Chain A
Amino acid sequence: MIQFLLHVLVISSVTSCVTLGYNFVFGKGKILHFGQLVQTMVAAYGLWVPITQYGQPFFVGLCISISLLLIVTLLLSWLSMRLEPDGYGVLSIALHLIIIAIVLNWNSVTRGALGIPKIPRGILPSTTFGYAIVCVAVLAAWVFFLWRVDKGSFSRNLSALSENEWHAQSLGVSRARVHAIAFSIASGGSLISSILFSPYQGLLTPSDFHFPQMIFYVMCVVAGGPGKLWGVLGATTALVFLREGIRFVSISPSYIGPVQLLLFGAILFISVWIRRDTVFPKERKI
């Protein structure tokens, strides 16, 4: 049982790194987008394809991954400025699906649906216990970093922009810069996840990046309280444990799927209902 709990702990820590980053963009900045998994996919494939398929050392893979990630991040933040929020949301979904299509079809590089097996752990521990410790430590460091950022001027700028763009800009807040930094933070979360998660599973396949996973991130941020660091951390942990914990409830196998969908759909709906005033805030009139 301990093993199982440690395993879930690994998953929840890694997922939290991503959702906390996403929280900055979506929760605090109120920039609605579904491109978080795009960042994670680019980071993961950018990191591991050079290492496993082309025999490059870790450092080279890391550089390639970071460069690709930067391009995607800048692209996303540029687009967030150019488009209306409606269009941006739809565009990010489109981007996500396109990247998956590329990964699936570009067999010579990504091995398509088969995925890349035997991702090496390198210096990372080979036991679940050791791995869990590493993940929790990394999460703690990431939380600390984000907490410091949260207290800083950047975070205030981000909130100001989200409440009223024009007023904030007239006060000297540069929208381009703030968006770029926000998306970079989110990409940091993606990078951590790609470094930690793929070796843990030992396998990198496109099936880990399907759209429902993105919805899960949205759920974590909405349920935890958009913009609230500790809230989102708690919500992510709770939801991951819930998702894995459902395995212990004995429902007839033909109903497990629908029940899970129903449960999580209901959770999302209720979270939005409760938080309907904070997810997308109304402008303060006075």
Chain B
Amino acid sequence: MQLVINAFIAGSLAALIAGGLAFVYGILGVFNLALGQIALIGGYTTWWLYQVHSVPLPVSIICGMAFGALVSWLIFEVFINPFYKRHRFLPLVTTIALSMILDAVILMVFRERPRSILPGVKEQISGFGITISPVQIVMICTTLVFLFLLAYFLHSTSFGRKIRAVTQNDIAASSLGIRSGLMHRIIFIISGVLAAAGGIYIGIDTSLTPVLAFSLTIKAYAAIIAGGKGNIWGAILCAYLISLLEQFAIGVHWFGTFYISAGYQQTVALLVIILFLLWKPNGLFVSSSRKA
């Protein structure tokens, strides 16, 4: 049971980042390999405001996410926009370059020392064979609230409908007067905000170090590949699934002989990617756009 809770904690984090990424990938077909760095930027900004300047925590968090949004917008203008119309893959390489540059900036400003937004041990609540801290409960709930807000936004506001229109068919949407360029930017910024939220999450739960970025990105990609291209809910669900898998698959004596040691924990996400790509290249939950 504790394992399930652990999975929820880790999964919420992955879900935040994967959700935004699925959006971007589904619509723009663009890979953003600098996503982990955006998450870190959000987390570090919050840390800086809260720990260094004693700005109240809720304000710090909001500012962290706002800054993540700003950075995402800049990234779009410089690293994505000039390239993705030529070919979908160019941003893959440019965002790799971007991730190196952002890593450098983060290192220079924040150094290698781990930074924690809420340091110290958190009090625990125990019951039903599980232990969890109030902070973690808050975080999981906040994540779920976020995701529900996203759902509401997409399905029940006119803005959201425009975005969904662009998702289904870019050109048709433009012909109806929807400014797809603006929509693309908004989508990208949303993914940045979600990533920043993820980074803040890590900063609160454990601590931030510059080297975390890459594994975050990989986990998010595992989730979206499994969830299906462009399917946000599939991606989010798969994020939780992968976390569950990671928790349960390790240390168990499979078939009495085969033992997966803890060193392979990260590998589980990777194997998921591979298996899905081979077996169901379009993901678990394929949403086809309406053709007519």
Nearest CB in chain A: distance from B8 CB, A: 24
**Is A222 a contact partner of B93 (Cβ separation < 8 A)?**
yes
CB of B80, distance to nearest CB on chain A (Å): 12
If the complex has contacts A98-B271, A105-B261, are A258 and B107 also in contact, measured as CB distance less than 8 A? Answer: yes
Measured CA separation A47–B221 after assembly (Å): 33
Residue numbers in A under 8 Å from B248 (CB-CB): none
CB-CB < 8 A to B111: which residues of A?
Answer: 254
- Residue numbers of A with Cβ under 8 A of B are 32, 79, 82-91, 93-95, 97-98, 101, 104-105, 211, 215, 218, 222, 254-255, 257-262, 264-266, 268-269, 272-273, 276-277, 279-282
By beta carbon, the residue of chain A nearest B272 is A94
Q: Looking at chain B's contact residues, is the secondary structure mostly helix, strand, loop, or mixed? A: helix
| A105 and B263 alpha carbons, distance in the complex (Å) | 6
Whether the Cβ atoms of A258 and B87 lie closer than 8 Å is no
Find chain A residues with CB under 8 A from B108 CB: 255, 258
Residue of B at shortest CB range from A30? B89
Q: Is the CB of B100 within 8 A of A262?
A: yes
Kindly report which residue of chain A lies nearest to residue B109, judged by CB atoms.
A258
Among the 9-residue stretches B12-20, B49-57, B274-282, the one with 4 or more Cβ atoms under 8 Å from chain A is: B274-282
Contact between B94 and A93 (Cβ–Cβ < 8 Å)?
no
Across the interface, do B225 and A87 meet the contact criterion of CB distance under 8 Å?
A: yes
* Bitwise interface map of B from 105 to 144 toward A, beta carbon under 8 Å scored 1, else 0: 1011001000000000000000000000000000000000
Given contacts A32-B92, A218-B96, A266-B97, 10 further A-B contacts (CB under 8 A): A86-B229, A88-B277, A89-B31, A91-B277, A94-B271, A261-B100, A272-B90, A272-B93, A273-B94, A281-B87
Contact B264 A83 (CB under 8 A): no
Cβ A104 vs Cβ B98 within 8 A: no
Once the chains are docked, how many angstroms separate the CA of A258 from the CA of B107?
Answer: 6
Residues of B within 8 A of A (CB-CB), count: 43
| B82 within 8 Å of A (CB atoms) | yes
Given that A265-B98, A265-B100 are known contacts, is A276 also in contact with B86, CB under 8 Å in the complex?
yes
A279 to B89 CA separation, bound complex (whole angstroms)? 9
* Partner pick for B82 among A104, A257, A273, A279, CB 8 A cutoff: A273
B positions within 8 Å CB-CB of A? 29, 31, 79, 82-83, 86-90, 92-94, 96-101, 103-105, 107-108, 111, 214, 218, 221-222, 225, 229, 261, 263-264, 266-267, 270-271, 273-274, 277-278, 281
Instruction: Report chain A residues within 8 Å CB of B31.
Output: 86, 89-90
B104:A262 contact, CB within 8 angstroms: yes
- A–B complex contacts, Cβ < 8 Å, 11 sampled: A86-B29, A90-B277, A91-B277, A215-B96, A218-B93, A258-B104, A261-B104, A265-B101, A269-B79, A279-B93, A280-B87
**Chain A residues with CB below 8 A from B222, complex form:** 94
- In the bound assembly, the distance between CA atoms of A38 and B116 in angstroms comes to 35
CB contact under 8 A between A83 and B225, given known A261-B104, A264-B100, A273-B82: no
Do the beta carbons of B274 and A32 come within 8 Å of each other? no
A262 touches B101 (CB 8 A): yes
Take A211-B214, A218-B96 as given contacts and tell me if A105 and B90 are in contact as well, using a CB distance cutoff of 8 Å.
no
In the bound complex, residues from chain B placing their C-beta under 8 Å from that of A90 are 31, 221, 225, 273, 277
Enumerate chain B residues within 8 angstroms of A272, measured Cβ to Cβ.
Answer: 83, 90, 93-94, 97
Closest B residue, CB atoms, query A261: B104
Residues of A within 8 Å of B82, CB to CB, are 273, 276
Least CB distance from A283 to B in Å reads 10
Contact status B104-A105, CB under 8 Å: no
Q: A90-B221, A258-B107 are in contact. Are A269 and B270 (CB under 8 A)?
A: no
Identify B83's interface contact among A87, A211, A276, CB under 8 A: A276
Chain B residue nearest in CB terms to A97 = B270
Assembled-state Cα–Cα distance A249/B277 (Å): 45
Chain B residues with CB under 8 Å of A79's CB are 277-278
